[in-house]
Structure 1
Amino acid sequence: MIELVRTNDAVVISFVESLMRDAGIACFVADQNMSVLEGSIGLLQKRVMVDADKADVARRILK
C-alpha cells in the first residue's frame, strides 16, 4: 500500500475516500484509531492508503 494523503482534516479524508470509492479504487485509512486516542492535539495524522498499482490513477484523480 502507498500513502496517498496524510492529514488531520476529517473532511479531506472522507472526500478522498469517496473519490476513490467512486473510481473503484480500494483504499484504507491508516492510523484512524490512533488519531482518536491522542485526542485533539493533532500529532498523529490519518493516512489514506491505496494499492501500489493504483497509486498513479489515484493521484490523477486528486489533481
Structure 2
Amino acid sequence: MSDPKKPCDLCSLPVGVKPFTLTASGGTLEFCCEGCLGIYQMLNEINEIPAAVPDNQATKT
C-alpha cells in the first residue's frame, strides 16, 4: 500500500490511498488522478503495451 501523503509524480498533490500507477523503466510512478497520469504519458511519449488480443479476435474486420 502506498503512503497517502506521497506527492503525485506530476503535480505534487498527495496521491491518496489508491494512486494511479505507471510502471516505467525507472520504477513505478504514482499519480493523484487519471488526468495527471495521462498528461505524464503524453509529455514523455509513453505508450502502454496493449493486452494480448486472442487469436480469434485478431483477424476480424
Fold shared by both chains (TM-score > 0.5): no
More strand as a share of residues: 1
Query: How high is the TM-score relative to the length of structure 1?
Result: 0.29
Q: Which has the higher contact order (CA 8 A, sep 6+)?
A: 1
Highest Rg: 1 or 2? 2
Query: How high is the TM-score relative to the length of structure 2?
Result: 0.29
More helix as a share of residues: 1
